[in-house]
Amino acid sequence: MLPFTYDALAERFATVRPWAKKTIGDKTNRCAICMGYTLRLTPSEDDATIEKLAEVATQVNADSGPAGGARPLTTLSANFFIRAAELEPRVRRVYGEPDVQGISNKVWRSVLGKKGVLYLEDCYQTEGDKSTSFLFFQRVNGDHWDLFNGINMVAEEYLLSGNSHAGQLCFWMAR
């Protein structure tokens, strides 16, 4: 269980999302940026950040951090995860094993009615997946972090019920 209330998570998530969209734009997945901030986690030296990904860093329009106060991009960008898969082991290390974990289409019912943080592995097609997919083989390896309000994912506004996703689902419940 996470040491945060759902309301505290929702407030931080709502604060960072507009800033991340303005800063990164629509072309880059922002879920790791938003969830890392929401969970108060920062990357280590080995993790990818906005600053380390040149193609993203050149597109960034960061005037200030999500909580306000101007900071230089190089200082600010080192504080945010950019890859969802790199945030997952950090969440486990800091907050422990998920309260619910397993193949998404088998365990999604265990999450309904609970509020917290959701991680879905291999749940959407990245641009790279699209270029290597064809009619009978659709690659899917994009991961996603989201806040879960007991019914749907907050950022994506998708219901979790009826989920047919065959990748891993990890859920950490808010207190």
Residue 69, pLDDT score? 43
pLDDT band for position 29 (50/70/90)? confident
Residue 17, pLDDT score? 94
pTM for this entry: 0.78
Give pLDDT tens digits for 159-171: 888 778 888 999 9
How many Cβ atoms sit within 10 Å of the Cβ of residue 7?
A: 10
Residue 140, pLDDT score? 57
Residue with tokens 């989201």: 146
Q: What is the mean pLDDT of residues 103-114?
A: 95
Phi, psi of 12 (to 5 degrees): -65, -40
When comparing pLDDT for 142 and 65, which is higher? 142
Pair of tokens at residue 140: 């899917």
Residue 36, pLDDT score? 94
The answer to whether residue 55 scores a pLDDT higher than 80 is no
The answer to whether residue 109 scores a pLDDT higher than 50 is yes
Residue 73, pLDDT score? 42
In this structure, what is the dihedral angle of CA atoms 116, 121, 122, 125, given to the nearest 10 degrees? 40
Residue 70, pLDDT score? 41
Give pLDDT tens digits for 117-145: 999 998 765 555 455 556 555 555 678 99
- Beta-bridged to residue 173, according to DSSP, are 116
Measure the CA angle with vertex 153, ends 61 and 81; round to 5°. 40
Residue 147, pLDDT score? 98
Q: Do residues 114 and 173 make contact, with C-beta atoms less than 8 angstroms apart?
A: yes
